[in-house]
A and B are shown apart, each in its own frame.
Chain A
């Protein structure tokens, strides 16, 4: 499969904060309908890179383009669904039902004069059905398990009818059974709904068969076009500073 205009076009991106270089001269492209995994050690700059893609951090140098536009000129943010790292950790007293949370995904659309219409309602209920949380819609978000909250947060992202889904380790603190379902769902969203997925994860072994390319980020970026190959190659050992065989075995445990 060959792609045309990249959705994300990142050129020579560097980020230095308080004299510390977090990212160094990163250039990469992400194309429509790709499933990209980003791995790397904690503190290696994965989250910083994603935050720059979303305009939440400004690069020290370099440029990010979305759909060929500069971040400052890009207006169609509803095309991007974002699930941050802390998504499954919520304030238990926040007054929100699952339905309240998923409806947030429709907030920014239709202009300030629009109310919650039939299209919004359909997309919200479709998103909840897709995430299998329709029966939880009236439950308070703070009373759910980690896995259920994770599904609610992804349903919120899906309610905006996104073309791109960016997930920053949203499965932290979620049990193994829920994680397996989660990976299967991501595969389905990518293969059936053609949603572009950018997924920061440590569980590369589990999704190696699903992903198109793998970006390893540790200040610099190494792009691997054959993720299965990388699992056994020298770069993985260098990236994490551990024996690559451990990662290979980890894959078979799941």
Chain B
């Protein structure tokens, strides 16, 4: 089993995968509790638009993805708070719009090339040492920010209005949360893919919620499920030559079904 670590690319992929599992599951807890599950999908598609622009214009696609995801996150939060639009409708509009724009840009710039394909579904082969360093640095900053404001974000997720009345800067923290989530997603799409990162954010948390335990325990369960799925998914992906992102998501889905069965038997 450990022969896969003889390959440098597998070491890089595992390292990147583990960091992404930690980031996606912890940020996913706040996203799910705020009933914002679809934001992962939407921001992933906005990141894809960034990748398309980056590829065509000759910029680093990862940085372009971060910029586009953060701008998209701000638009979503602005529309949600300023116009009281339905959150799911706002997310749906941005998701379709970003994907459509990405496809048009790529088709105008040439063929629907392999580079974009690898961002759609994730590719462990494409993870460079530079990517790992970028993911580690920005991932640590993003995680630090989330943990720093975790009490406030938890209160806001439970009751936004009472949190506001108690003096918490709800508007600022909502923008901060979506910005951090956007950065995490943009960093993750190289490994997990834009079509699948939303699942890695949402499913571990939803599985953890089945156990009906307090906040801290739920975060720990969600994190464990995400880590286990990423490690198992990457191992299976290596041994059976399967696409990494899809294998990881099927693993996490399997654990979700198990958690449903276990908790319904209680």
Contact = CB atoms under 8 A, between A and B. Distances in A.
Contacts of A107: 151-152, 155, 163, 166, 168
Interface stretch (A24-32, A73-81, A128-136): A73-81
A104 interface: yes
Interface in B46-92: none
B64 to A, nearest CB: 32
Interface in A118-145: 138, 140, 142-143
Interface string A94-105: 111101110111
Given A95-B208, A95-B215, A140-B212, A54 B165 contact: yes
A95 B167 contact: no
B213 interface: yes
Given A78-B166, A78-B167, A96 B149 contact: no
Contacts of A140: 212-214
Given A77-B166, A78-B166, A94 B33 contact: yes
Size range of the chain B interface in the assembly = 20 to 34
Size range of the chain A interface in the assembly = 20 to 34
A32 B164 CA distance: 23
B214 A108 contact: no
Interface string B197-234: 00000000000110011110110000000000000000
Given A82-B162, A101-B158, A96 B212 contact: no
A108 B215 contact: no
A96 B166 contact: no
A62 interface: no
Nearest to B29: A95
A96 B215 contact: yes
Contacts of B212: 93, 95, 140, 142-143
User: Interface of chain B, helix or strand or loop or mixed?
Assistant: helix
User: Interface of chain A, helix or strand or loop or mixed?
Assistant: loop
Contacts, number: 75
Contacts of B155: 104, 107
Contacts of B162: 82, 84, 104, 156
B2 interface: no
Contacts of A103: 151
A56 interface: yes
B240 interface: no
A160 interface: yes
B214 A84 contact: no
Contacts of B209: 93, 95
A112 interface: yes
Interface in B162-196: 162-168
B218 A108 contact: no
Contact of A104 (B148, B158, B208, B213): B158
A103 B214 CA distance: 12
Most buried by A among B152, B162, B215, B217: B162
Contact of B165 (A82, A96, A109, A143): A82
B199 to A, nearest CB: 19
B159 interface: yes
Contacts of B8: none
A107 B209 CA distance: 23
Given A77-B165, A105-B166, A95 B214 contact: yes
B129 interface: no
Interface string B230-243: 00000000000000
Nearest to B148: A112
Nearest to A76: B167
B156 to A, nearest CB: 9
Nearest to A116: B151
Interface of B: 33, 148-149, 151-152, 154-155, 158-159, 161-168, 208-209, 212-215, 217-218
13 contacts: A56-B161, A76-B167, A80-B165, A82-B162, A94-B33, A99-B214, A100-B214, A104-B154, A107-B166, A108-B163, A140-B214, A143-B212, A160-B166
The 6 closest A-B pairs by CB, nearest first: A77-B167, A95-B218, A108-B167, A97-B214, A82-B165, A108-B166
